[in-house]
Structure 1
């Protein structure tokens, strides 16, 4: 994990020599859930009872007047943080309650200026997991790869954004056999987050 962070910081520093760059801090609130692949769970992609924090740093590297790169390094609390396991029900994504803490690296491209859109891949490195009422063992992967999309608004040195993230990597691959269930489960991360970013300095 340390090598990956050092590599990111090296690339980050190299890009900073190309043009004037803004550096800032970001914080936010995740509303997260463990979903089955790209399917909604109980009619919803997120669990309003499952909330976590985001905290990190970011930069803005201009490409032209309307496009910039915005890499970030963020501590993010995801997974399902609500004790909702019911042993009387068959196992599905809605009753897997793992608290997952990641060090995430979103590599976004931002389009437009005042009212903007960001999109890009994201890599998450698992740094902690906590099992609540149901223990299914270790996660299948400590690396979470996915994509995020953000809509935001710039107000001087502040940026306010609404971000959607969905993982492509299976957190769990659970095989189920009759009579419990006739289908296997591929469990992935999903998070809807509200972000507040602030530019600290430029160079």
Structure 2
């Protein structure tokens, strides 16, 4: 985790020669449609929300770097029983503008488990505290700062932390969001 945070800081500092007036800061929020994959059967999608802050750092006319800090409600449902997972996610997105306003995005993400509940019972010890993933998505940004996005987060790490269990479980989240760049 320390290496990842060091890499994130160095990456942001590496863009320090970018004109500060071109860097945009904003906020966004939206809906999550989350579930898990792997050694699971009979799990269903749960709907939750996401919100947070973002920055867009232009690298060239077509490329931008967009770091974010997001709260993300995730989890899954089985037999009418919902497991609610709350994460603080840090996606580091590379954006390529296909045409003005329309971008495709991809990048790694690290997630820190904030809480895990099963019908109001704390089950945080049953899940690993760090989740690594990769995001793929599309976005559209209007000239006035309003933006829209659709993204899929593919979990890469096994989040199962149950003793004596060999089951592998990974997060999967489809996100829809609306945001606004303030300046």
Under TM normalisation by the shorter chain, which class is it? Answer: 0.7 to 0.9
What is the TM-score with the length of structure 1 in the denominator? 0.73
> What residue in structure 1 maps to residue 50 of structure 2?
54
Mapped contact 2:115–2:124 kept (Cα < 8 A)? no
Structure 2, gaps ≥5 residues long: none
- Whole-angstrom CA distance in 1 between matches of 2:14 and 2:25: 12
Asked if 1:187 is matched to 2:149, the reply is no
Structure 1 residue matching 2:168: 3-state secondary structure: strand
- Per-residue deviation, residues 134-177 of structure 1 (Å, max 9, x unmatched): 9877234100001011111122211111110111111116667x
> What residue in structure 2 maps to residue 132 of structure 1?
119
> What residue in structure 2 maps to residue 143 of structure 1?
130
Structure 2 residue matching 1:35: 3-state secondary structure: strand
> What residue in structure 1 maps to residue 17 of structure 2?
18
Moved over 4 A (4+): 6-13, 133-137, 173-176
What is the TM-score with the length of structure 2 in the denominator? 0.81
- Whole-angstrom CA distance in 1 between matches of 2:7 and 2:52: 14
Structure 1, gaps ≥5 residues long: 87-94, 177-183
**Greater per-residue strand proportion:** 2
Asked if 1:109 is matched to 2:97, the reply is no
- Whole-angstrom CA distance in 2 between matches of 1:155 and 1:72: 19
1:132/1:115 Cα in 2 relative to 1: closer, same or farther (>3 Å)? same
Give the count of matched residue pairs.
Answer: 176
> What residue in structure 2 maps to residue 168 of structure 1?
156
- Whole-angstrom CA distance in 2 between matches of 1:137 and 1:69: 33
- Whole-angstrom CA distance in 2 between matches of 1:198 and 1:64: 21
